[in-house]
Structure 1
């Protein structure tokens, strides 16, 4: 089973490879500089998932706090 952290690492590797001018095969698809925006969007999604998992593991599911002023 692939974790969110592993997927994030794959997207970061793909982004670096494409920025270095290489193409990379990822998920059965060959990606190149033209696909950089797709790779970045995927990376951002997996970053959100990793952060959500970390927040859930620490008991902070909401991502925000409420304050009561009296």
Structure 2
């Protein structure tokens, strides 16, 4: 996964949120969603934001040792 892909997915989820809030149905990753799916859309956006933020974390790619 790349940062560009993560940002593209975040943008898609934001567009889906806006469309659903406007009363439309949307298709994300092959799944058609409507207003009842708004919590799932928000959760998907947050997951992709978490993945994107992992790239900018000071410890990206490194685990933390506990002593």
Q: Same fold (TM over 0.5)?
A: yes
Report the count of equivalent residues.
Answer: 58
Q: Report the equivalent of 1:27.
A: 29
For the pair shown, the structure with the greater C-alpha radius of gyration is 1
Could you tell me how far apart the structure 1 residues matched to 2:11 and 2:19 are? 12
**Where does structure 1 differ by over 4 angstroms across 4 or more consecutive aligned residues?**
none
Unaligned runs of 5+ in 1: 63-70
Give the TM-score normalised by structure 1: 0.73
Indicate yes or no: 2:23 matched with 1:61: no
Could you tell me how far apart the structure 2 residues matched to 1:17 and 1:61 are? 36
Note the aligned Cα RMSD (angstroms).
1.7
Could you tell me how far apart the structure 2 residues matched to 1:42 and 1:27 are? 11
